[in-house]
Amino acid sequence: MPVIDDVYPSRIDGRAQLIERVDPVVYRQTGRKGPFTAAEVDTYEEQGFLVKPSLFARNETVDLNEALASWISSPDLEGLEETITEPHSGAVRSIFRVHELHPLYRQLARDDRLLGAASQLLGSDAYIHQSRINLKPGFSGKEFYWHSDFETWHVEDGMPRMRALSVSLALTENFPFNGPLMVIPGSHRSYVVCLGATPHDHYKQSLKKQEYGVPDHDSLRMLTERGGIEAPTGPPGTAVFFDCNTMHGSNGNITPYPRSNVFFVYNSVENRLQDPFCGLTPRPEHIAARRAVEALQPLTR
């Protein structure tokens, strides 16, 4: 592969810092339309995320939850490398590559309400870089610490530039108290350079508990002093679109109310992965797609 300059270096020396983003947030392509209004696009560009309450109807999320419940109870899920369990309880924490493993979620990834919006913001056709379902059962759901997805995707996967985004679709009610996604508005404008060299096969541990690619406390304080913290909530079917560099995380869930969300990461076909910038072996396909990178075709309702 051709050598690409690393404009977002991280985990290479002993100094944490914030550097300003050099890539656009929204890639406005003439003639490319999508489901978002101009005002919604402006909000996404300014804040680094956009919330769409009840984007999917109740009956649609019922079908998705029924499929998920049946899937989790199936012995076919056991032993798959795509299945990530909690470090102590052994409960399912995440399932990766859901857009290829389950037919209903395969259709969901191509739904124009998601894919069409992603293509509109990215200004190009898109493919799935990563997909997963995150589960937070009542009483025992563990936290996901603050992080920028792009820092990991850049360092460990070789994603060259910030031309990707995530969609988190609520499968259950997201309350303020059951560990909803938290985001720092405006944090997508700054890239947090993290400490520590990446260990070999780091993904095996990081998917359970991330210890590298974690922002330092001073950087987090600075970002929150600028933008604060918001925790988008809403009923099943609510979608949160957020930029690849938006700082986000979630608390643990000690309430009786489970929280499940499906995530699709859409990457521009013009931003395909290169060699990892950490110099290590690329992470597996189910975490970072290298082969299945053809442009997705939207499904209309």
Residue 28 has pLDDT above 80, yes or no: yes
Residue with tokens 């032993």: 79
User: At 201, which amino acid appears?
Assistant: D
What pLDDT is recorded for position 276? 95
Residue 193 has pLDDT above 70, yes or no: yes
Residue 76 has pLDDT above 80, yes or no: no
Domain-located, residue 7: no
User: At 253, which amino acid appears?
Assistant: N
Structure letter (DSSP) for residue 55 = -
Task: Determine how many CB atoms are found less than 10 A away from the CB of residue 26.
Answer: 17
**Rounded to an integer, what distance in angstroms lies between the CA atom of residue 17 and that of residue 194?**
7
What pLDDT is recorded for position 199? 76
Residue 198 has pLDDT above 90, yes or no: no
* pLDDT cut 90: percent of the chain above it: 74
- Indicate the burial class of 1 (C-beta count within 10 angstroms; 0-12, 13-18, 19 or more): exposed
Domain-located, residue 277: no
CATH number at residue 181: 2.60.120.620
Domain-located, residue 45: no
CB 86 within 8 A of CB 139: no
Domain-located, residue 118: yes
User: Which residue range is the domain that position 182 belongs to?
Assistant: 52-271
Domain-located, residue 29: no
Of 240, 203, 193, 277, give the one whose Cα is nearest residue 1.
277
Measured in degrees and rounded to the nearest 5, phi and psi for residue 114 equal: -100, -60
Strand-pair category, 259-268 with 92-96: unpaired
- What mean pLDDT, rounded, does the chain reach? 91
Domain-located, residue 226: yes
Start-to-end Cα distance in the chain: 39
At 31-71, the pLDDT tens digits run 788 999 999 999 999 999 999 999 999 999 999 999 999 98
Dihedral (Cα; 277, 282, 285, 288), 10-degree rounding: -20
What pLDDT is recorded for position 207? 52
Domain-located, residue 37: no
3-state DSSP assignment of residue 117: helix
CB 206 within 8 A of CB 166: no
Residue 137 has pLDDT above 90, yes or no: no
pTM: 0.93
Token pair recorded at residue 178: 């059951």
Give how many domains the chain has, as a whole number: 1
Residues 6+ apart with CB under 8 A from 37: none
Domain-located, residue 212: yes
Q: What is the mean pLDDT of residues 120-125?
A: 97
